[in-house]
Amino acid sequence: MRNQDDISFDDYDEIINPKPDDTDFDRIVDIALSRRDLMKGIMVFGGVTAFGNTLMPSAAHAATDRFAFDAIDMSTADGITVPPGYKADVVARWGDPLWSDAPEFDHATRGTGASQARAFGDNNDGMEVYAHGDKTLLIVNNEYTNRKIIWGNREEGKSETDDDILKGMNAHGLTVVEIAETDGVWGIVKDSPYNRRVTPDVEMDITGPATGHVLMRTQKDPAGMVVQGTYNNCGNGSTPWGTYLACEENFNGYFATADQEHPVTDEMKRYGITPKGWGYDWHKIDDRFDIGKVANECNRHGYVTEVDPTDPTSRPKKRTALGRFKHENAEVVVNSDGKIVVYMGDDERGEFLYRYVSNGVYAPGGETDSLLEDGTLYAARFYENGTGEWLELSPETTGMASLAEVCIHTRQAASTVGATTMDRPEWVAANPKAAEVYCALTNNKNRGVKPNAGGDETPVGGPNPREANKYGQIVRWRPDGADHTSRGFAWDLYVLAGNPTVHEGANAGSDNVNTGNMFNSPDGLKFDSNGLLWIQTDGNYSNEKDFAGQGNNQMLAGDTATGEIRRFFVGPKQAEVTGLTWSPDRRTMFVGIQHPGERGEGNWPEGGDAVPRSAIVAVTREDGGLVG
């Protein structure tokens, strides 16, 4: 995820909110373990040795026929590349109207507050397609806005009017839209009764342990039960009972106040709340976002929100039981005993990996409301020997006064129990064919350099083996006894991304990385129905120096048994490839393109002088075959 200017959200956060440099060695467990054992855990599951012997790429190709496509080269073009025999067509773009009473996107003005409320939101990220009777419903997160794009018609790319700010707000949230395929081309069904925008004004219920807690109460909602809006949803999840999970990530950037000396508590600092904010300016038109006026609104965001995509009148539910942090996605697993397990990353440098386990069990057609309300949160600790454990977060283990507090100050709870600081956990994906789970650790320039925002040390080691990690890696774990509720697990690294043309050793990457498939900053992860792991990147697209030969952001497919990784898709200039779902018949793969041209270079998808627009594309086979 990148911010309005030429820096990432994390960088922006760091500039305006510098982290302490002091360290607290007392917090660190097992720091004395020898680093010589570090690589023992890498690639022990797959039969491929990541370090030492070289895995021959040609041998890997010959070893499997699980890939139904030929690998493609990297690209720096301002367009999409897919393998021969495949095509990619645009389905829906930022600003496309969902109703026929709304105007088409205006490249000169980039829309208004009113037009944006009736149109597809900006910067699509996580998404899911649901079959509903004979209808195909797409629900997608509209994560954020790029200041210089949405306000690119204004001097310096800054808001000039209240309506500019409202346009930005209305570009956030969720879009639910019916889509249909006509003559092989997918598009929006305007005026469908299912079409819906969930903007930052839409009312929703607060559920779970934090409901009504004093930290959740505001002047407008003195009971702490009802909140307006969900925004900065990054990845997503989907439940077996047909609901969608939107995951709030960098919610902190929307809070600000005019007085730059306004005091900010330590609890707020841990989440990156500052008087300055990130330039969205929402506090200028709505007091909810002014921390000088409404102290607790920020405690009401940073959650997972459950939405029924089939009922446009339904009230979304913020599920506080899943904790408050910078959620990436929420990977839902039905355990063998019917309990619902949700794996979740907190995407910030040195933050943690989480698991939620429901108290109740899922039964098809049965009651589901309590399954994401009533359960236990855990944070992961990894050991150098390839094992790990889930540490319960409760008043007893953390010393916090209540479970509500654990669910509101989840980062602090996980720090207290000594969870392992990670290299920015992005999407988590569970293998549908085996009891194993994967998480993209995208990169972390602070690894081994400085502590996280809570002062927890970030030592080099375990699943975070490289100092100032530039390229990222994918960690995987297998729960003990193939039981996702087990305390213990075994872990290894599926891949260490790197650049074998520039580096030797660890920065060349693991042996399943070669000059033909290299990439950096894995982010989106999802398994298809065949058990292939799809990997999407949100990284450095400069194609030079450490990243020479890697081109634009891309999507690859990984065979988790052999370790082989093959490049399938390359996105347009300066875009991230994020969000992945399939049509019910699996003949279309929907892929998200986010922030094309974010630094001023690129005009995808329309080209010429057009404003670059985030969009969803449909990838199909020219022979009409299955795509996952």
| Contacting residues toward Ca ion, per CB under 5 A | 1, 234, 426, 523, 538, 576
For residues 280 and 158, what is the distance between their CA atoms, to the nearest angstrom?
9
Q: What are phi and psi of 370, to 5 degrees?
A: -80, -15
Q: What are phi and psi of 299, to 5 degrees?
A: -75, -10
Does 249 bind ligand FEO (CB under 6 A)? Our answer is yes
For residues 150 and 613, what is the distance between their CA atoms, to the nearest angstrom?
10
- For residue 284, the 8-state DSSP code is G
Cα-Cα-Cα-Cα torsion 324, 329, 330, 333, nearest 10 degrees, comes to -150
Least Cβ distance, residue 597 to ligand FEO (angstroms)? 18
Does 405 bind ligand FEO (CB under 6 A)? Our answer is no
Least Cβ distance, residue 331 to ligand FEO (angstroms)? 14
Least Cβ distance, residue 141 to ligand FEO (angstroms)? 9
Residue from 10, 346, 347, 511 in contact with ligand FEO (CB under 6 A): 347
Give how many residues touch ligand FEO by CB under 6 A: 8
Least Cβ distance, residue 347 to ligand FEO (angstroms)? 3
For residues 104 and 82, what is the distance between their CA atoms, to the nearest angstrom?
29
Does 346 bind ligand FEO (CB under 6 A)? Our answer is no
| Structural tokens at position 20 | 């302490």
Residue 392 binding target from ligand FEO, Ca ion, none, CB below 5 to 8 Å by type: none
72-94 core/surface letters (b: 16 or more CB in 10 A; e: else): bebbeebbbbbbeebebebbbbb
Least Cβ distance, residue 241 to ligand FEO (angstroms)? 26
- For residue 369, the 8-state DSSP code is G
Least Cβ distance, residue 142 to ligand FEO (angstroms)? 12
Least Cβ distance, residue 33 to ligand FEO (angstroms)? 29
Residue 178 binding target from Ca ion, ligand FEO, none, CB below 5 to 8 Å by type: none
Residues numbered 425-444 forming contacts with ligand FEO, rule: CB under 6 A: 426
Least Cβ distance, residue 92 to ligand FEO (angstroms)? 19
- 255 CB-contact burial (10 Å; exposed 0-12 / middle 13-18 / buried 19+): buried
Residue 436 binding target from Ca ion, ligand FEO, none, CB below 5 to 8 Å by type: none
DSSP state letters, 415-444: HHHTPPP-B-EEEEEE-TTSS-EEEEE--B
Give, in degrees to the nearest 5, the angle at Cα 291 between 288 and 296: 70
Are 231 and 172 spatial neighbours (Cβ–Cβ below 8 Å)? yes
* Cβ-based neighbours of 579, under 8 Å, separated by 6 or more: 124, 125, 126, 127, 140, 141, 236, 524, 536, 590, 591, 592, 594, 616
Q: Helix (H, G, I), strand (E, B), or coil: what is residue 146? A: coil
Cis peptide before 605 (omega within 30 of 0): yes
Our CB check for ligand FEO shows the closer of 368 and 444 to be 444
Helix (H) or strand (E) holding 393: strand 387-393
Least Cβ distance, residue 123 to Ca ion (angstroms)? 7
Residue 249 binding target from Ca ion, ligand FEO, none, CB below 5 to 8 Å by type: ligand FEO
Our CB check for Ca ion shows the closer of 138 and 428 to be 428
For residues 435 and 93, what is the distance between their CA atoms, to the nearest angstrom?
37
Binding flags for ligand FEO, 464-493, as an x/- string (CB under 6 A): ------------------------------
Our CB check for ligand FEO shows the closer of 74 and 234 to be 234
Least Cβ distance, residue 255 to ligand FEO (angstroms)? 18
Our CB check for Ca ion shows the closer of 39 and 127 to be 127
Our CB check for ligand FEO shows the closer of 186 and 519 to be 519
Binding flags for ligand FEO, 58-97, as an x/- string (CB under 6 A): ----------------------------------------
Our CB check for ligand FEO shows the closer of 297 and 426 to be 426
Least Cβ distance, residue 579 to Ca ion (angstroms)? 9
Does 164 bind ligand FEO (CB under 6 A)? Our answer is no
Residue 511 binding target from Ca ion, ligand FEO, none, CB below 5 to 8 Å by type: none
Q: Compute the 3-state secondary structure of the chain and give helix, strand, coil in percent, each to the nearest 5.
A: 15, 30, 55
For residues 47 and 321, what is the distance between their CA atoms, to the nearest angstrom?
38
Are 439 and 425 spatial neighbours (Cβ–Cβ below 8 Å)? yes
Our CB check for ligand FEO shows the closer of 1 and 102 to be 1
- The sign one gets for the Cα dihedral 92, 97, 100, 105 is negative
Our CB check for ligand FEO shows the closer of 479 and 522 to be 522
Give, in degrees to the nearest 5, the angle at Cα 558 between 552 and 560: 155
For residues 389 and 479, what is the distance between their CA atoms, to the nearest angstrom?
9
For residues 267 and 262, what is the distance between their CA atoms, to the nearest angstrom?
15
Our CB check for ligand FEO shows the closer of 249 and 290 to be 249
Residue 423 pairs with which residues in a beta bridge?
349
Least Cβ distance, residue 328 to ligand FEO (angstroms)? 5
Are 459 and 28 spatial neighbours (Cβ–Cβ below 8 Å)? yes
Our CB check for ligand FEO shows the closer of 7 and 189 to be 7
Residues numbered 1-60 forming contacts with ligand FEO, rule: CB under 6 A: 1
Our CB check for Ca ion shows the closer of 306 and 426 to be 426
Residue 308 binding target from ligand FEO, Ca ion, none, CB below 5 to 8 Å by type: none
Least Cβ distance, residue 44 to Ca ion (angstroms)? 27
Our CB check for ligand FEO shows the closer of 209 and 571 to be 571
Least Cβ distance, residue 49 to Ca ion (angstroms)? 29
382-395 core/surface letters (b: 16 or more CB in 10 A; e: else): bbbebebbbbbbbe
Residue 405 binding target from ligand FEO, Ca ion, none, CB below 5 to 8 Å by type: none
Our CB check for ligand FEO shows the closer of 1 and 174 to be 1
Binding flags for ligand FEO, 220-239, as an x/- string (CB under 6 A): --------------x-----
Residues numbered 534-553 forming contacts with ligand FEO, rule: CB under 6 A: none
Residue from 328, 351, 384, 456 in contact with ligand FEO (CB under 6 A): 328
By CB under 6 A, name the binding residues for ligand FEO. Answer: 1, 143, 234, 249, 328, 347, 426, 523
